[in-house]
Chain A
């Protein structure tokens, strides 16, 4: 079966650091993606991990451990505009490599 778990909601303070965790159990693995989605808008691509380790891109970093079925998204120097949902998605290796999404983590950044 396919299962992707992430916390439903998180809150953080402007300027702080927040880590959003994602655990997955999927039939096959061909990479993990993080997307940001503001309310009423399309998901936008943030990061992609296919090998173990940390990928850094500006204020955002993403980590992957394939043996543990675990990833996290790290957001530094939080800004109010970072208030959004963050979607963890796994690309399956079976079928046609479609993305399977978690339910998303709603992050609220407060002053």
Chain B
């Protein structure tokens, strides 16, 4: 297993466009998390999946954001009508169970121009 994979690594988009990011967690991990990180800050929690169920969403996740994990394996995060304030690194992490540490992917850096 090569760890948590995220695609794309970088995305530049014009304001108002929609973007979608993909995360492939470690195969045996049933827990998947999305975080957002801006420069000089720590990661901020966005949403959590256990298998295919989205069990928690942050208030940071406005109605322009949607995340799915249809078969309990890979996950997608979509941002509609992007705004400049959405520019950030979007990190995906997975874990095996409640006691384990998270393994993070390398992130998708989004720049909205």
Chain A residues within 8 Å of chain B by Cβ, number = 26
Q: Report the Cα distance A87→B33, complex, angstroms.
A: 17
Given contacts A87-B42, A103-B40, contact A96 B50 (CB under 8 A): yes
- Binary contact track A1-41/B, C-beta < 8 Å → 1, others 0: 00010001000000000000000000000110101000011
Q: Report the Cα distance A97→B98, complex, angstroms.
A: 7
Given contacts A42-B107, A43-B43, A104-B41, contact A98 B101 (CB under 8 A): no
- Residues in A neighbouring B33, C-beta threshold 8 A: 98-99
What is the size category of the interface that chain B forms with chain A? 20 to 34
- Binary contact track B42-60/A, C-beta < 8 Å → 1, others 0: 1111001010000110000
- Residues in B neighbouring A99, C-beta threshold 8 A: 33, 43, 45, 102
Please state if B45 and A89 are interface contacts (CB–CB under 8 Å): no
In the assembled complex, how far is the CB of residue A89 from the closest CB belonging to chain B, in whole angstroms? 7
- Binary contact track B9-35/A, C-beta < 8 Å → 1, others 0: 000000000000000000000000101
Given contacts A98-B45, A101-B44, contact A33 B101 (CB under 8 A): yes
In the assembled complex, how far is the CB of residue A30 from the closest CB belonging to chain B, in whole angstroms? 8
